[in-house]
Amino acid sequence: MTERARKIRSYLENLNIFEDEICLPPVPEPEPRELRVLHGSIDPLPVNLESFGKSISSCQKCPLGKTRTKFVFGDGNPEARIVFVGEAPGGEEDRTGIPFVGRAGKLLDEMLSEVGLTRQHVYICNTLKCRPPNNRDPEESEKAACRPYLRTQLSLISPDIIVCLGRHAASELLGTDEAMGRLRGRVFPYEGMQALVTYHPAYYLRNMTQRVHGESDFQQLRKLFDELPPR
């Protein structure tokens, strides 16, 4: 037996001897987090985000249920303090079932990384969970059908900050039809949270010169995040 093996054996034997004398303090259960339940959430609130997503993934409440390939519930950290809300899945999202994985999504990832954040820090979802054909604008009836899903999702995550990506998210959550030029970069109180409005990343793909606004909004987001009190 080598010296190293002898040492390991003696260590294990010692462990054996003292096994029932080792008294480790119990690991405390994490305190359950108090959720902010948004009005219009499903009542009673589902037990958790994952089971909720599964339970609605065959939704046929609106005609998009017939035309979608995949239901795109959301992605990221279910305990995130920041939630991004976009418009609706596009082609790539419809194929994969994951939000913001196309060109706009790549840009979103880049903008997050520029302020030291990743998808693991945030949660990403949309006002609609299914792709409108040819990426047309969401219709009012579709938004109404999906509304309880978004509200319930936000309640289960209970973030501190919501980022509205573009006018559809801003009008869905803040109930405003003000122009994006006037809304962007502003923070609104929203059901006990802070809602920051910024342009949709697809807008920057079409207007790269406007990206300075995105950079400044994401820096503002980082500042809001850094100023959050500990949970």
Is position 164 an interface residue for ligand URA (rule: CB under 6 A)? Answer: no
Query: Which residue among 83, 104, 145, 146 contacts ligand URA (CB under 6 A)?
Result: 104
Nearest to 208 by CA among 110, 121, 119, 118: 110
Measured CA to CA in angstroms, residue 212 lies from 19, 185, 216 at distances of 62, 11, 6
Query: Which residue among 90, 132, 138, 159 contacts ligand URA (CB under 6 A)?
Result: 90
Query: Which residue among 56, 64, 80, 88 contacts ligand URA (CB under 6 A)?
Result: 88
Is position 89 an interface residue for ligand URA (rule: CB under 6 A)? Answer: yes
* Closest residue by beta carbon to ligand URA: 86
Which residues, other chains included, contact 46 with Cβ-Cβ below 8 Å and sequence gap of 6+?
A: 52, 55, 152, 156
Query: Which residue among 53, 99, 132, 214 contacts ligand URA (CB under 6 A)?
Result: 99
> Taking the complex as a whole, how short is the minimal distance between the CB of residue 182 and ligand URA, in angstroms?
21
Query: How far apart (Å, rounded) are the C-alpha atoms in residues 159 and 162?
Result: 7
| Residue list 180-209, contact with ligand URA (CB under 6 A) | 202
Query: Which residue among 68, 73, 93, 195 contacts ligand URA (CB under 6 A)?
Result: 93
β-sheet with 122-126: strand ranges across: 75-76, 122-126, 82-86, 161-165, 193-198, 187-190
Q: What is the distance between the terminal CA atoms of the chain, rounded to a whole angstrom?
A: 52
Measured CA to CA in angstroms, residue 10 lies from 7, 16, 23 at distances of 5, 10, 21
> Taking the complex as a whole, how short is the minimal distance between the CB of residue 88 and ligand URA, in angstroms?
6
Q: What would the x/- binding string for ligand URA be over residues 108 to 137, using CB under 6 A?
A: ------------------x-----------
* Interacting residues toward ligand URA by CB under 6 A: 86-90, 93, 99-100, 102, 104-105, 126, 202
